[in-house]
Amino acid sequence: MSILIVDDEEVLQDVLGALVREEGHEAIAARTGEEALALLEREEVDLVLLDLMLPGLSGMEVLRQAREQDPDLVVVVITAFSSIEGAIDAMKKGAFHYIPKPFKNEEVRLTIRKGLERRQLKAENRALKEQLHGRFGFDRIIGKSKPIQQVFDLIRLAAPSKSNILILGDSGTGKELVAKAIHHNSKRRNGPFVTVNSGSMPADLLESNLFGHVKGSFTGAISNKKGLFELATGGSIFFDEIGNIPLETQAKLLRVIQEKEFMRLGGVEVLKAEVRIIAATNANLEDLVERGAFREDLYYRLNVITISLPPLRKRAEDIPLIANHFLNTYARENEKPIREIASGAMQLLMDYHWPGNVRELENAVERAVVLSTGSILDVDLLPQTVRQPTELQLPAAMLPSNGLSLKDAVSAYERQLIVKALQASGGVQKKAAELLNVKPTTLHEMMKRLAISVESLAS
Ligand SMILES: Nc1ncnc2c1ncn2[C@@H]1O[C@H](COP(=O)(O)OP(=O)(O)OP(=O)(O)O)[C@@H](O)[C@H]1O
Ligand SMILES: [Mg+2]
């Protein structure tokens, strides 16, 4: 292990250096506090022997900065007997132990041994914790496709920052999973992760949930209650379905983000909002802003970093990976011998358009596992919707006895389907194109050819 000796006296450097080497460790010397901090930044150091009386930067300041850099660092303070008060102060600031000068060599040896033991324990604890976090980290988000790899890159970049994050994506694409991954890969990972289900709660109830209330602030407030912002202190607060938050609550939320403080309902005490905000929605917030249903200023505050999750059908190559993952998970959970997905069944899984995304796939696999008796998941275990390609669900074609123009009939049918798709997607051509599995430009051309205008749909 390596031990940094911070002392401006040459004699003490020599004595302590010899002791450290006799114990089988590497000794690094620093004569000033500045030099010590620079070394700590560069070198892997396990323990510091620190003289509190230094020229320039004080030993106490070195202690503070060193522990800030590495909270596991073990610092042993060495100080003249006359300044024992400083030593006690140092203990309060996180020093492991203090040794008064003049010291006995044996005392130094013993303290080094104990200090290094502590260091090792801390390192082990940290490793265990990190293993635990791993389970909530990236490895729960499965996928190797380019779009999902881009999401991983963004999470990696965004997680350590302090910025608010907005996660966009259709239902079941993994927004909540990503929000948790961000939290567990951030500096706040040891703090709480609190979810706000903005759902369809009335404003006053939502606000009492968010900010808490004091006893008697409204009928039913029979005691003081902490709000979610308070519970999330030091961690992250996740606003699921942020688009559903009533306008009046949006105004309050904006104020909390800007001022980083809030009050409980009916309270007078100003509380610090020491949280990171992660929000998610499957609505088009820009549309909501345009329609006046979402505050533009709040939108910009939340949308510092955007992570967009692609629908599952846009990353079909992830489907086998995800399907097999859930197959194993649910087989274990249900103690079933099923281990494999037949190639025909896999093909159907890959061809299906998954409007409910990963959640729908997960449900389909879970259902198949529960119903299964053998070791292979085959077509018969898949839900009807997945088994029947969409065209088979279309009504049977009728041929008039006197025949027809195939071209006109196909055009008329195309027209009907395009109009249906546009109606189903509220006139949003991009969405309609997805439903029809064509490029937006293709849809646009078809609409022109068939003289379909979005305006005419409303009637
Ligand atoms: N890439 C993925 N790998 C593994 N599991 C996933 C992945 N994406 C989503 N899931 C799983 O799919 C389910 C739905 O995910 P999640 O709840 O995060 O979606 P969501 O976007 O929040 O959906 P909604 O908008 O309906 O709330 C969860 O069980 C989640 O664990
Ligand atoms: Mg969700």
391-417 pLDDT, tens per residue? 555 677 788 888 888 988 889 889 999
Query: Ligand 1 atom closest to Cα of 280?
Result: 22
pLDDT in tens, 114-132: 999 998 888 777 767 655 5
Q: Please report how the helices 203-211 and 247-259 are oriented relative to each other, as an axis angle in degrees rounded to 10.
A: 20
Write down the pLDDT at residue 381: 95
Instruction: Check if 141 has its Cβ closer than 6 Å to any atom of ligand 1.
Output: yes
Q: Are 138 and 155 in contact (CB under 8 A)?
A: yes
Instruction: Check if 362 has its Cβ closer than 6 Å to any atom of ligand 1.
Output: yes
Mean pLDDT of 426-446: 89
pLDDT band at residue 135 under the 50/70/90 scheme: very low
Give the closest residue (by CA) to ligand 1 atom 24: 171
pLDDT > 60? residue 390: no
Write down the pLDDT at residue 400: 85
Instruction: Check if 310 has its Cβ closer than 6 Å to any atom of ligand 1.
Output: no
Instruction: Check if 328 has its Cβ closer than 6 Å to any atom of ligand 1.
Output: no
Q: Which ligand number lies closest to the CA of residue 365?
A: 1
pLDDT > 60? residue 459: no
Name beta bridge partners: 296. none
pLDDT band at residue 140 under the 50/70/90 scheme: confident
Mean pLDDT of 134-155: 81
Instruction: Check if 363 has its Cβ closer than 6 Å to any atom of ligand 1.
Output: no
Mean pLDDT of 71-79: 90
Write down the pLDDT at residue 293: 92
Q: What is the value of pTM for the model shown? A: 0.62
* Span from the CA of 343 to the centroid of ligand 2 (angstroms): 31
Instruction: Check if 358 has its Cβ closer than 6 Å to any atom of ligand 1.
Output: yes
pLDDT band at residue 183 under the 50/70/90 scheme: very high
Instruction: Check if 169 has its Cβ closer than 6 Å to any atom of ligand 1.
Output: yes
Mean pLDDT of 60-69: 90
* Span from the CA of 134 to the centroid of ligand 2 (angstroms): 21
